[in-house]
Amino acid sequence: MKIDWDRLNHVFIPVPTAERRRRVRPLSPRVARLIELLFSVTSVGWALFLVGAVVGTLSLAAPRSRLAFVSGTALGLFALSVAARGRFRVREGRARLEQPTRVTVGEAMEVRVLVDASDRASDLAVRGPFLPYFARYEGAPPALAEERGTRTLAATARVRFLKRADLFLGPFAVARRLPFDVVSGPPIETEPFRIKVVPRPARVSRLALAPSRDTALDARRATRRAGLADLAGVREYRPGDRVRDLDVRTWARTGVPAVREYHDPERPHALLLLDTHADDGDAFEAAVSLTAGVAEIVSEGSLSLELLVLGDALHPLGASRGREVVPRVSDALAVAEARRGPLDARRLLARIAPHLGAASSVVFVTTRWDPARDEVVLALTRRGLFVRALVVADRPGPLPSGVVALSPARIAQGGLDL
């Protein structure tokens, strides 16, 4: 049994996911002030308090020594700093964040803290939120410096996440330093640090899929005017959308950037299925990475990825085309979780049946092979779909013809020819 020591170190601290954030109850003002006070004590302050407490304990055994004086001085300085911290507020301060919305697992990201204040940069300290067990700050603590040509103070923090998640972390705090750097004053805070940690896509060099279920469909598509498609609707702009799809009238009316979505009924669709009925481990993480890589290679071809299925959860991708679909797939895969238990083939087929009409191909990614998985592939094949089944396992056992087996190590290497 493999023991995750990093996770055990945080066993009583839940991972601050976006879903948990929506259910959490706000703290009472007294508890919030107490937590703020504890976090305002610097490493120097805790060392001073510890020295004062230890020396004070030793002075009980030697009442005539100078230990009591040393202990009283240390604890008195600590208490005086705590009592006076309320007077050391950031003057005319406002803090904000500059950060990407998503980051790939294992890659370091930079978070910029911008502060508009009349204090000197050397008088202010930046404190980041508490990170979950699979994340860490890198390098020295962020220090504020004045940006050239402006009065804005900026600090850059480097953070690295080692697991997928949709995180809703706390804000970065900026506070004034007190003399002797024992504690810091009441902080000003940025907006909460929200980040989606998406899987690293496996490098898929080629994926053989059926371009269409009907050759006559290709002939009709060839005679159709290029770019002609049905307007599916208007939605809010998402990063990665094409500029030419912006709907100026809706933007002017609502004040929010909006884009037009189109639906081409004659464009063949593909479905991507990830079997999450698996054990959590390297094989499942490799399967998630492979699913992201398949989404990328499909988006670069002539097929339109219409539906992503993660276990029992359906994620319709609608009218998204090309590279527009990749961020949506990555966001969904960021929160995919392995679930123990058997796969209900009939239930899965019934749920995806309404989406099979225009589909020509299905990519099925799983970590094991049994009669239930075989039933899914056979049922989809009988409907005239081209099914590419991919099994991610070190020892998958005997497999039917046409099913491709991949080890987690092979997926990590990349250059997959599927």
**Concatenated DSSP letters of 327-361:** HHHHHHHTT-----S---HHHHHHHHGGG-SSEEE
Tokens standing for residue 234: 């208007």
pLDDT number for residue 219: 40
d(CA 327, CA 202): 15
In degrees rounded to 5, what are phi and psi of residue 104?
-85, 145
pLDDT number for residue 227: 47
Residue 70, SS3 per DSSP: helix
pLDDT number for residue 77: 95
Catalogue the E-assigned strands of 106-181.
108-116, 124-127, 135-138, 145-146, 152-161, 165-169, 173-176
Residue-range definition of the domain harbouring residue 308: 204-229+264-417
Torsion of CA 354, 359, 361, 364, to 10 degrees: -20
pLDDT number for residue 173: 93
d(CA 34, CA 50): 19
pLDDT number for residue 210: 66
Q: Are strands 359-366 and 269-274 parallel, antiparallel or unpaired?
A: parallel
Check whether residue 331 and residue 369 sit in a common domain: yes
User: How far from chain centre, in Å, is Cα 98?
Assistant: 16
Please report whether residue 74 resides in a domain: yes
| H or E element that contains 87 | none
pLDDT number for residue 80: 95
Q: Are 98 and 110 in contact (CB under 8 A)?
A: no
pLDDT number for residue 212: 52
Q: Are 377 and 275 in contact (CB under 8 A)?
A: no
Residue 15, SS3 per DSSP: coil
Check whether residue 114 and residue 171 sit in a common domain: yes
The reported pTM is: 0.79
Check whether residue 211 and residue 279 sit in a common domain: yes
d(CA 201, CA 289): 5
Q: Are 202 and 406 in contact (CB under 8 A)?
A: no
Please report whether residue 312 resides in a domain: yes
CA distances from 173 to 22, 45, 93, 189, 263 (A): 22, 18, 11, 5, 46
**Residue 151: how many CB atoms within 10 A of its CB?**
10
Place of tokens 């805790």: 46
**Residue 215: how many CB atoms within 10 A of its CB?**
8
Residue 310, SS3 per DSSP: strand
Please report whether residue 239 resides in a domain: no
Check whether residue 297 and residue 384 sit in a common domain: yes
CA distances from 226 to 213, 219, 222, 229 (A): 21, 13, 9, 9
Residue 302's domain is classified under what CATH number? 3.40.50
Please report whether residue 251 resides in a domain: no
Please report whether residue 60 resides in a domain: yes
Tokens standing for residue 347: 């239930």
Check whether residue 179 and residue 290 sit in a common domain: no
d(CA 347, CA 351): 6
Check whether residue 128 and residue 70 sit in a common domain: no
Please report whether residue 129 resides in a domain: yes
Check whether residue 66 and residue 146 sit in a common domain: no
Domain ends where: 157, 177, 197?
197
Check whether residue 184 and residue 150 sit in a common domain: yes
Question: Count of domains in the chain?
Answer: 3
What sign does the CA torsion over 55, 56, 61, 64 have? positive
Check whether residue 81 and residue 171 sit in a common domain: no
Check whether residue 54 and residue 110 sit in a common domain: no
pLDDT number for residue 22: 63
Burial of 161 per CB tally in 10 Å (0-12, 13-18, 19+): buried
Check whether residue 101 and residue 178 sit in a common domain: yes
d(CA 113, CA 6): 28
pLDDT number for residue 234: 79
d(CA 213, CA 76): 81
Beta bridge partners of 259: 235, 246
Please report whether residue 246 resides in a domain: no
The pLDDT tens digits along the chain (418 residues) read 566 666 666 666 667 776 666 666 666 788 888 888 898 999 999 999 999 999 999 988 887 788 899 999 999 999 999 999 999 999 878 999 999 999 999 999 999 999 998 888 889 999 999 888 899 999 888 889 988 878 889 999 999 999 999 998 889 999 999 999 999 999 999 999 999 999 999 999 988 876 555 443 444 444 443 445 566 677 777 666 777 778 888 888 888 888 876 655 555 688 999 999 988 889 999 999 999 999 998 888 767 788 888 888 888 886 555 677 888 899 999 999 998 889 999 999 999 998 887 788 999 999 999 999 999 999 999 998 999 999 999 988 889 988 999 999 999 998 898 8
Catalogue the E-assigned strands of 170-291.
173-176, 188-189, 193-198, 204-206, 230-236, 258-263, 269-274
Contacts of residue 232, Cβ cutoff 8 Å, sequence gap at least 6: 261, 262, 263, 318, 319
Please report whether residue 310 resides in a domain: yes
Q: Where are the alpha helices (DSSP H) in 353-406?
A: 371-382
Check whether residue 275 and residue 375 sit in a common domain: yes
